[in-house]
Amino acid sequence: MLIRVRPGWALRESEVTDEGLWRARRRFLSVAAGLAAAPALARAASEATMTAPLPDVRPDPAPPPGERPNTWEQITRYNNFYEFGTGKRDPARYAGRLRTRPWTVVVEGECERPGEIGIEDILRGFPLEERIYRLRCVEGWSMVIPWVGFPLRRLLERFRPTSAARYVAFETLHDPERMPGQHRRILDWPYREGLRMDEAVHPLTILAVGLHGRVLPNQNGAPLRLVVPWKYGFKSIKSIVRIRLVRERPPTTWSQAAPHEYGFYANVNPDVPHPRWSQRYERRIGELRRRPTLPFNGYAEAVAHLYAGMDLRRFF
């Protein structure tokens, strides 16, 4: 008679884990490992999209009280830039085809020294500083962005505006092959914007060449964009190739496309609703709660005097 003696290392059948439970446990461990690794993977993905650092940037001495800047991922993945599509994710998807070197900006009109300047000369010629500004979009969302740039006034001074220059007009690159949104007749391309001269030379108005201490990404308006923090975001024109100093108020893209919805001034004003929605509240990207909209986007103390005596419901 054959008697089997079970080795000491062998398990009884009753001790063997059921196959279904074993596979469920494996799935659980796999998911748990994925969740534990998610923050590191997210950081790695974000770092992979980052541009080169900008050297010698002076930090912002006074960011908005109690404000925390949005992350690189939030700022570079949620944009309005219709030249690359109308979806908020479209610019990040399609802006990579834009070539930002070489890049030249033409300055002309009512100035003593009309001419052009290359982006490399701009980067070498103007001390860069960080400006942590609120950005408020007319659709109701907002961000806090650490821009890197310099006052627009310094660039204009190089070309010596004359006393006849009452407005500054800006124009975006027109290149449908690299900006596929321009194949669609959504707007009258190229994109145009403008400021009154006193707005343009205000210390808060800057030309940005970067954010978070790094070179400005294409989807955020590389290589050079305007930032006017007390106005709705559509005033801060991106990828600028032309600046004109003019006598009369220049035509602007959105005020031509829908003049009853988008005025020339576009100052952030909770008391002037958009025809299709209120402007009394905003939602910061990354937050669930709504915030009350601040007059002039929180910069009223610095800029309200520019509009003294104006009917801000009429000049919206």
Residue 223 in tokens: 């290589």
d(CA 230, CA 298): 7
**Which residues share a beta bridge with 150?**
207
From the list 194, 119, 115, the residue with the least C-alpha distance to 150 is 119
Please name the residue that has the structure tokens 């035509």: 251
Query: What is the band of 63 on the pLDDT scale with cuts at 50, 70, 90?
Result: confident
Judged against a pLDDT cut of 50, whether residue 41 lies above it is answered with no
Q: What is the set of domains in the chain, with CATH numbers?
A: 69-307 (3.90.420.10)
Q: Could you tell me if 73 and 46 are in contact, meaning their C-beta atoms sit under 8 angstroms apart?
A: yes
Pairing of strands 240-246, 167-172: antiparallel
Query: What is the band of 47 on the pLDDT scale with cuts at 50, 70, 90?
Result: low
Q: Could you tell me if 265 and 200 are in contact, meaning their C-beta atoms sit under 8 angstroms apart?
A: no
Eight-state DSSP code of residue 169 = E
Q: What is the average per-residue pLDDT within 271-286?
A: 96
Please name the residue that has the structure tokens 């990828």: 239
Compute the residue count for the chain.
316
Eight-state DSSP code of residue 313 = T
d(CA 28, CA 180): 44
d(CA 161, CA 113): 8
**74-95: pLDDT as tens digits:** 999 999 999 999 999 999 999 9
Residue type, 265: Y
d(CA 277, CA 280): 9
**150-184: pLDDT as tens digits:** 999 999 999 999 999 999 999 999 999 999 999 99
Q: What is the average per-residue pLDDT within 276-301?
A: 97
Residues contacting residue 236 through CB under 8 Å, at least 6 positions apart: 135, 193, 221, 225, 226, 227, 228
Judged against a pLDDT cut of 50, whether residue 135 lies above it is answered with yes
Q: Could you tell me if 212 and 48 are in contact, meaning their C-beta atoms sit under 8 angstroms apart?
A: no
Q: How many CB atoms lie within 10 A of CB 198?
A: 13
